[in-house]
Amino acid sequence: MGLLYDPETYEVVGFQIEAFEKEFIHEHANVGNVWKLRGDDLQLKDFGELAIHIGALKPKIVREVVAASQDVFQRLGISSLGPSIESRKFAVV
């Protein structure tokens, strides 16, 4: 796991997880539950619905990834990823 930070304030603003789909999801079932598409997710009729659906899923994914990563953060001495990390814009790639 790599931390992304603001170089001026050194505030942690995000993180990157290596082998996310290959390892991390399999080790953390709650992350896998929100990451995997279900049958009703595949019934979207157009790109607009898809964009809205993805926008709604991002905060859920971020919450689960942050919760699953707490042990790593604690080992690194990080108690928080900054103010209201769940309200920030995230690139989930």
Q: Hey, where are the domains in the chain?
A: 18-87
Asked if residue 11 lies in contact with residue 18, where contact means CB atoms within 8 angstroms, the answer is no
Instruction: Supply the pLDDT for residue 25.
Output: 92
Q: What is the pLDDT along the chain (93 residues), one digit of tens a residue?
A: 888 888 999 887 888 899 999 999 999 999 998 888 777 767 888 889 888 988 888 888 888 988 888 888 888 777 765 555 545 555 554
Which pLDDT score is estimated for 67? 87
**For residue 30, what pLDDT is reported?**
92
Q: What local confidence, expressed as pLDDT, does residue 50 receive?
A: 86
Are the C-beta atoms of 81 and 12 separated by less than 8 Å? yes
